Structure 1
Amino acid sequence: MKASLSRRLFRTILVIGLINVLVTLVAVDYVYEDVEDTILLRELALERDFLQAAITGPQPQSWQTAVLTATYLPAGASPDALPALFLHRSVPFSAEVQVGERTYLLSIERTATPPGVLYLAQDITLMESRETVLQVGLAAFAIAALALALLLARLGTRRIVAPLQELTRHIARIRPGTPFARLETHYREAELADIADMLNRLLAELDAYVQREKSLVSLASHELRTPVAVISGALDVLEQRDSLGAADRDTVARIRRAADEMRADVEALLKLARRADKDEQLEQVDLAAALKGLVEQQNCGTPAQRSRVHLRTAQPGPVVAADPALVRMLLRNLLQNALRHTRGAVRIDLGAHSLSIADEGEGLPDRVRKRLASPGDRHVPDDGLGLFIVRLICERLGWLLQIRRSDAGGTVLDLLFLPDATRSIQE
């Protein structure tokens, strides 16, 4: 299953937005932490220098402000007099400490003059609370940024894909069989305008090609019908003279049958060359009668093969709404292909909705089987037109051709009719 371009674009734009939000959050948090640490440590260093200069002698001293608690303990003095905040701390010591609901930044270092230990505790509770507010704000920003990224991804995808969808709708309106409508080239995007322009050039060439093909079909129709009409007219003259012997009359009858088949084949091929018309007039074709007539004609034309064909038809036989010329050409090609490429018996079974032709040959070549299994293949084969024409007629009639078996024991071809295109003779 192919991936949707709009989905890929949506995911790409959304991922880019998410990456931008993530990078922004990490950068803001890093900068804030760095600024906070720099300010606090710098302030604490300045306070230590100030207090160390304020020490007057080798006796304990304490200082207290709104956010600073400091104690000097001379060397050798008992630490029991220290505030609980400083008890049992190693020297030196520097870290954030949580005491109840308050947060302190502790710094404990030795002094040289006079010798001792200076204990500092800066209350940073307010700053920590502001950091919590900042984190909540960043979370709200992240949610808003994600929602905005989602919205921009959807809008951006629609804006990018909309011209492509419009171009697709224009292409979908093109219908074979009529002069191809040219695409509009008013797109603001240069790439899409170039695509539409190239497609218009292709459509112009296709129009010219189709017109040449139609002219060729009309010319072939005239050129092929004329010699067939001449042959039929000459046969009429011979029969009117009534000067032929029995053997000659049989020969003339065979020539007339061949001419009639040629005329029917020409008409059928010309119909295949033209596009199917929805208003095409169809006739009721009795498949059982058509097969019987085809087998009798085959037996008369080649008496040596009279015993090879075995026909079995359903009672009552099916009647289909189709073009009689195409149906006769289809059945004749199936039968002649089986007789021409095998030496054994050919069995034809006609059911209510299917026709099976089984031979006793060596099976169809792989290239033929692949060609029959590929309905979209329009390449004209160079190894015979029989089954190629059969497939084209089946596509035109809306019937299904299947290879049930093709091996050393022979080939079985099944022709399946549409259920709603058949009815029994009794109806």
Structure 2
Amino acid sequence: MRYRRRLRSRIVISFALFGLGLTALFAVATIYLRARLEDQLINNTLQRELKNFVDFKRDNPDPNAPWTMSVYDAQIVRAGRTATVPLAWQKFDSGVYDTEEIGREGKNRPYRLAVYKDADYWAYLRFDLSTQKLNERQLLTALCVAVLLFAIFSLVIGFWLSARVMSPVIDLARRVRAMSRSGKPELLKKHFADDEVGELASVLDDYSTRLTEIVQRDREFNADVSHELRTPLSVIASTTELLQGSPDLTDKLRERLKRIERAVRQSTELIDALLLLSRRERQAPTDGESTDVARVVEQVVDAQRPHLANKPVDVRIEIEQPLATAAPSSVVAVALSNLIGNAFKYTPSGEVIVTVGHGRVTVEDSGPGINAEDAEKLFERGVRGTTVGKGGGLGLAIVRRLCDLYGWTVSLAPRPQGGATATLEFGAQVYPS
């Protein structure tokens, strides 16, 4: 929407500026040509009239011989006799000059004075420029009005033309928006002409078709994974449960069955979380109530203990405050399993402290720690820290995606006394337990 308005505005502004510049150029050219032609006409007229006046006086030496001109005031004297010549005129040599004198109404009036001097006569011809100046002002006013009218006209035409030009684009955007809202793909090319917009609609049709196929394959894959993986996991879980009920099991075998049971539960929770991520849908707990985070922490710690093996690591769970969140326990378990599991795996000795309360879960370990510059990069897919061994680097990326889905916040930081600290904040999704 913003791009469409910006494109239309550029069309309108360009058209308006074009019209304004064109009319302004026309006005400047008109003023220049008028002034040049008028000056040339006046100068030629003055010089011609003055020459004719001198010739008339040569042919008619009688000073009473009539000589009249409408806009001219002529005077001729014998060379060097300037008694009757105005003092302001006497300083000029032959040529044409612009002057100002007080007119009959007592105001300064512009004049153009032509002077002709030879050995016999000095002649003066004055031309009144008042009418010319008035005409120039009128012409300038008319041109300013014309420029303004042309600019307004260009602006109106620009809006009209931009609406016509942009109407197919607007229609295309409207159809794409409606298709996006309904979720039902529709071919767009048939609604548009064979032009640039039609070509864009055709490209969008191809992209929509490929995207629909990808989404359909993704949905089918998710459904297949959900069904094909849950079924054997259910079989393993039920078989393990039956085997644990056998009275002749040894303690070592019973412990192994418990590990299998924990692995099945973790796999089921991971499948649920990955399916939610693939569908980008936020799911509430199945029982309609909030999930007790402390209880999930205890389950995750118990499930991740095999990572400790026989390492001298002291594990403590500190419940500072009840904490619950409106998310399935499987999602919370997957997020915490990665954080707690990493702490167990990368701590050769020392302690791991899991603290619950105040809207967050904090996991502190005394392992090799992390570099501060690696803290944020570790949540990127395939990235691992410089202080750990080989691996895919996918666990923390999954945690970050789950946090983005549910509006949580996860962070890693070096621990001041050595090791690392992972924090999972539940934000607004926290409820009283």
Question: Where on the TM-score scale, by shorter chain, does this alignment land: which range?
Answer: 0.7 to 0.9
- The aligned runs of 1:273-312 (5 Å cut-off) are 273-276=278-281, 281=286, 282-299=288-305, 302=308, 304=310, 307-312=313-318
> Using the alignment, how far apart are the partners of 1:172 and 1:406 within structure 2?
49
Q: What whole-Å deviation, never above 9, does each CA across 1:32-64 have from its counterpart, x for those lacking one?
A: 112211221222232123223212379795844
Query: CA 1:359–1:154 in structure 2 vs 1: closer, same or farther (change >3 Å)?
Result: farther
CA contact (8 A) 1:362 1:408 kept: no
The one of 46, 50, 53 aligned to 1:51? 53
- Classify the secondary structure of the residue corresponding to 2:392: coil
> Using the alignment, how far apart are the partners of 2:162 and 2:417 within structure 1?
58
Question: Structure 1 residues 121-130 or 182-191, which shifts more?
Answer: 182-191
- Report percent identity of matched pairs: 24
Instruction: Report the CA distance between 1:414 and its aligned residue.
Output: 2.5
Query: CA 1:128–1:326 in structure 2 vs 1: closer, same or farther (change >3 Å)?
Result: same
Instruction: Report the CA distance between 1:92 and its aligned residue.
Output: 1.7
Query: CA 1:170–1:351 in structure 2 vs 1: closer, same or farther (change >3 Å)?
Result: farther
> Using the alignment, how far apart are the partners of 2:284 and 2:341 within structure 1?
32
> Using the alignment, how far apart are the partners of 1:177 and 1:330 within structure 2?
33
Q: What whole-Å deviation, never above 9, does each CA across 1:119-178 have from its counterpart, x for those lacking one?
A: 111223223222221122122223323333443444444444454444334333444994
The one of 65, 68, 84 aligned to 1:81? 84
The one of 425, 428, 431 aligned to 1:416? 425
Give the unaligned 5+ runs of structure 1. Answer: none
> Using the alignment, how far apart are the partners of 1:296 and 1:237 within structure 2?
21
> Using the alignment, how far apart are the partners of 2:418 and 2:9 within structure 1?
52
Amino acid at match of 2:334: M
CA contact (8 A) 2:293 2:323 kept: yes
- Classify the secondary structure of the residue corresponding to 1:35: helix
Q: Are positions 1:333 and 2:356 aligned together?
A: no
The one of 73, 85, 90 aligned to 1:69? 73
Amino acid at match of 1:389: I
CA contact (8 A) 1:299 1:305 kept: no
CA contact (8 A) 1:18 1:146 kept: yes
The answer for the alignment partner of 1:216 in structure 2 is: 221
Amino acid at match of 2:146: F
Query: CA 1:253–1:306 in structure 2 vs 1: closer, same or farther (change >3 Å)?
Result: farther
Q: Could you state the TM-score of these two structures normalised by the residue count of structure 1? A: 0.84
Query: CA 1:182–1:23 in structure 2 vs 1: closer, same or farther (change >3 Å)?
Result: same
- The aligned runs of 1:17-416 (5 Å cut-off) are 17-56=19-58, 63-76=67-80, 78-83=81-86, 87-100=89-102, 101-111=108-118, 115-175=120-180, 178-183=183-188, 186-187=191-192, 190-236=195-241, 238-239=243-244, 242-276=247-281, 281=286, 282-299=288-305, 302=308, 304=310, 307-315=313-321, 317-343=322-348, 344-360=350-366, 361-363=368-370, 369-370=376-377, 372=379, 383-403=392-412, 405=414, 409-416=418-425
The answer for the alignment partner of 2:386 in structure 1 is: none
Instruction: Report the CA distance between 1:405 and its aligned residue.
Output: 4.9
Question: Structure 1 residues 281-290 or 227-236, which shifts more?
Answer: 227-236
- Classify the secondary structure of the residue corresponding to 1:37: helix
> Using the alignment, how far apart are the partners of 1:362 and 1:350 within structure 2?
21
- Classify the secondary structure of the residue corresponding to 2:191: coil
Query: CA 1:11–1:174 in structure 2 vs 1: closer, same or farther (change >3 Å)?
Result: same
- Classify the secondary structure of the residue corresponding to 1:56: helix
Query: CA 1:371–1:284 in structure 2 vs 1: closer, same or farther (change >3 Å)?
Result: same
Number of aligned positions between the proteins: 414
- Classify the secondary structure of the residue corresponding to 2:227: helix
Question: Structure 1 residues 124-133 or 321-330, which shifts more?
Answer: 124-133
- Classify the secondary structure of the residue corresponding to 1:55: helix
Give the unaligned 5+ runs of structure 2. Answer: 103-107, 384-390
Instruction: Report the CA distance between 1:205 and its aligned residue.
Output: 0.3
CA contact (8 A) 2:414 2:420 kept: yes
Instruction: Report the CA distance between 1:65 and its aligned residue.
Output: 2.4
Instruction: Report the CA distance between 1:90 and its aligned residue.
Output: 1.5
- Classify the secondary structure of the residue corresponding to 1:333: helix
CA contact (8 A) 2:43 2:96 kept: no
Q: What whole-Å deviation, never above 9, does each CA across 1:275-310 have from its counterpart, x for those lacking one?
A: 416798554210111112322343477453574333
CA contact (8 A) 2:304 2:340 kept: no
Query: CA 1:70–1:371 in structure 2 vs 1: closer, same or farther (change >3 Å)?
Result: farther
Instruction: Report the CA distance between 1:410 and its aligned residue.
Output: 3.6
> Using the alignment, how far apart are the partners of 1:102 and 1:347 within structure 2?
101
Instruction: Report the CA distance between 1:83 and its aligned residue.
Output: 4.4
Amino acid at match of 1:263: T
> Using the alignment, how far apart are the partners of 1:388 and 1:370 within structure 2?
10
CA contact (8 A) 1:349 1:355 kept: yes
> Using the alignment, how far apart are the partners of 2:399 and 2:202 within structure 1?
39
Question: Structure 1 residues 182-191 or 91-100, which shifts more?
Answer: 182-191
